[in-house]
Amino acid sequence: MTKQYNVAILGATGAVGTRMIEQLQMELDHIPVKGIKLLASKRSAGKVLEFNGQPVTVEEATPDSFDGVDIVLSSAGGSVSKKLLPEAVKRGAVCVDNTSAFRMEPDVPLVVPEVNPQELANHHGIIANPNCSTIQMVMALKPIYDHFGLNQVIVSTYQAAGGAGQSAIDELLTESQDYINGEDMQKDAKILPTKGDKKHYPLAFNLLPQIDVLEDSGYSHEEWKMIHETKKILLNDMDASAIKVTATCVRVPVPISHGESVYVTVDDRDATADDIKRVVADFPGVVLQDDIKHQLYPQPLTATGKRETFVGRIRPDYENPGAFNMWIVADDLLKGAAWNTVENAETMVEQGLI
């Protein structure tokens, strides 16, 4: 008989959690679900959501919530993961965590299933989902690295509000309405650039070059994550120097789907833009949208709601052989979060790891 699983979604009421519910529902042929628990904070306990056409009451997440649970899909913030996931592991569950809580721990696999699925076998109960901006970037970098070698990556991000949760999307929309009504936007700036910091700025009609906290190094923590997660995923070492990576992360007034301008230098100086396009287009989960004659290129509006990573505007740096520019867009809440989490769980089920 096919194995069936008890699944818990931690953070089920959030921007990512609600999408985890949707994505899991679409994969029931691959992850047979026996029972589902929808967990959130005390505030949401008693709220009724739906799973597979059935009403499910949201419960407050406590350590005992994980009794009898086989798989946890989690996106309720780093501190909640730190507190509750070890409790879930103690009770025998395997957790795929979308927060940054465990990503840099050496014995926690950091996995994008198309890129480094072999790492899943090394788990000790927790698998980390990379940061949303890292995931979509490594989807394009992996085939380039495999075919042409990768020397350096310079990325500037154009990140949507949704990466900071549903309340950040709501804040952007309220501020936009304020602006149109001729009202003060500052009064509604309560979350961005980042919840825990002292100052908050409007994102509507603005750009914020701060995602997560600013560190003494001069980089934001988001930039730090992109650098070290990329190395851990591609080279299995968060501090590896074989690929140099640097990042500038910017929040833009877009509700959902991140854009990234990425500049790469490859080892194979003879590689052409057509070669790069070919290997990127062949990579599973990537869609090449690159036809300048017909003005075809990836955009947040067209990527939103899709699982794929879209790549376009691939062009050589004519002043530097072996160097290329490209533009990458993906739904940060799906491939960047909910879908990658469900896909990791599904890959483990397929590999017999759960």
Residues that bind ligand A2P (CB under 6 A): 11-17, 40-41, 43-44, 61, 76-77, 80, 165-167
Q: Report which DSSP code applies to 338.
A: I
Q: What distance in Å separates the CA atoms of residue 202 and residue 224, rounded to the nearest whole number?
A: 24
Q: Tell me the helices (H) and strands (E) count for the chain, helix number first.
A: 8, 14
* Residue of 123, 221, 228, 258 with catalytic role: 258
> What amino acid is encoded at 120 in this protein?
L
Determine phi and psi for 345, rounding to 5 degrees. -65, -45
Which residue type, as a one-letter code, is found at position 158?
Y
Pairing mode of beta strands 244-251, 309-316: unpaired
Q: Which residue is nearest to ligand A2P (CB)?
A: 14
Please say which residue, 13 or 210, places its beta carbon nearer to ligand A2P.
13
> How far apart are CB 83 and ligand A2P at their closest, in Å?
8
Q: Which is nearer to ligand A2P, 44 or 136 (CB)?
A: 44
Closer of 63 and 68 to ligand A2P (Cβ)? 63
Shortest Å, Cβ 341 to ligand A2P: 13
Q: Pick the catalytic residue: 95, 132, 228, 249?
A: 132
Measured from the CB of residue 49, what is the shortest distance to ligand A2P in angstroms?
A: 10
CA distance 260 to 159: 8
The token pair at 71 is 């798989």
d(CA 341, CA 354): 14
Length of the chain (residues):
354
Cβ nearer to ligand A2P, comparing 119 with 175: 175
Is residue 124 part of the annotated active site? The answer reads: no
State the nearest-atom distance from the C-beta of 261 to ligand A2P, in Å: 26
Tell me, what amino acid is at 270?
Answer: D
Residue 132 annotated as catalytic: yes
In angstroms, the CA 139 to CA 279 distance is 11
Smaller CB separation from ligand A2P, 132 or 264:
132
Q: How far is the CB of 95 from ligand A2P (least distance, A)?
A: 14
Q: Which residues are catalytic?
A: 132, 258
